[in-house]
Structure 1
Amino acid sequence: MENEAPQKIAPRKIVRGRRAQRRGVEAEARVVAALAAAGWVILGQRLRTLAGEVDIVAERAGLLTLIEVKARGDLETAAYALGARQRRRLTAAAAILLGANPGWGLAGVRFDVWLVDARGGVRHVPDAFRDEG
């Protein structure tokens, strides 16, 4: 077992992963532009914590929103892409970020989801879920 060669990742899987990452970054850019146009201040993008990453953190009038962006072929598929495990990870990451930034969210905190489809359609789901812990 010690002499086993490392497994190689199939080239198609690498290409799919890069394509998905590029789509995700492009979708996040669209969401950031929409938020800025609506008067939100972007406090961070792709913020990493020990619990995981938060795509976008924005604030307006003291209301903090932690945003998950889901980019898929269509909005319906994107809507089903956020599962319970990921919601728990986001709420744990939020607790870490709020602990490190006590001035954030003085008027409240919510979790928003932005859905982006392959044709550029965008759907905002404000207050998409609550901390279940």
Structure 2
Amino acid sequence: MPARSLSSRTTRVASPARQAAFARGMAAEAAAASLLEAQGFSVVARRVKTARGEIDLIVRRHDLLVFVEVKARRTLAGAAESLLARQRRRIAGAAEIFLADHPEFAGFDMRLDVVLVAPGRPPEHIAGAFEAE
């Protein structure tokens, strides 16, 4: 079987709708990070990918490490309703993997938060929005 050249590979191009959704997500994460920094948190990492899923933001303040899910919708209520049980389990599992891979955070308190984002409204931070199951 002949080797494929790089030029013969097809490049996947995201649709304009997908590109717009990605841009909105990035803007929502930036707004959430700014809100949390104003509350005295420092950003440890953004968009952390693990075998269990992605964590939007990881922030810390003193010995508190917070795993943050950012939800952006047309309304804050819609954003709040969009956090499903399976997503909460995925986020908690991803946080466990992150902690196992980063022993420097051993002994830190941990919390799972949500930041809700909607156009024309200030972001809303819900501390301790859910528990690890």
Worse-superposed segment, 98-107 or 111-120: 98-107
Confirm or deny: 8 A CA contact 2:35 2:123 kept in the other structure. Answer: no
Q: Match of 1:90?
A: 91
Question: TM-score scaled by structure 1?
Answer: 0.85
- Output aligned runs, 1:46-57, within 5 Å: 46-57=47-58
> Per-residue deviation at 1:105?
6.0
Give the root-mean-square deviation of aligned CA atoms: 1.9
Q: Does 1:17 align with 2:26?
A: no
In structure 2, what is the Cα distance between the partners aligned to 1:76 and 1:15?
26
> Per-residue deviation at 1:95?
0.6
What code does the residue aligned with 2:48 have? L
In structure 2, what is the Cα distance between the partners aligned to 1:105 and 1:14?
42
SS state at 1:131 partner:
coil
In structure 1, what is the Cα distance between the partners aligned to 2:84 and 2:106?
25
In structure 1, what is the Cα distance between the partners aligned to 2:127 and 2:18?
28
In structure 2, what is the Cα distance between the partners aligned to 1:80 and 1:53?
19
Confirm or deny: 8 A CA contact 1:59 1:105 kept in the other structure. Answer: no
Q: Does 1:70 align with 2:71?
A: yes
- Gaps of at least 5 residues in structure 1 are 1-12
Alpha-carbon deviations, 1:22-43, whole Å to 9, x = none?
1110011011112222221111
Confirm or deny: 8 A CA contact 2:52 2:93 kept in the other structure. Answer: yes
> Which 4+ stretches in 1 moved above 6 angstroms?
none
SS state at 2:15 partner:
helix
- Gaps of at least 5 residues in structure 2 are 1-13
Confirm or deny: 8 A CA contact 1:75 1:121 kept in the other structure. Answer: no
> Per-residue deviation at 1:121?
2.6
Identity, in percent, stands at: 38
> Per-residue deviation at 1:110?
0.6
- Output aligned runs, 1:96-111, within 5 Å: 96-104=97-105, 106-111=107-112
Q: Match of 1:5?
A: none
What code does the residue aligned with 1:98 have? L
SS state at 2:36 partner:
helix
Number of residue pairs aligned between Structure 1 and Structure 2:
122
Q: Against the structure 1 CA distance between its residues 117 and 50, is the aligned structure 2 distance closer, same or farther, given a 3 Å change threshold? A: same
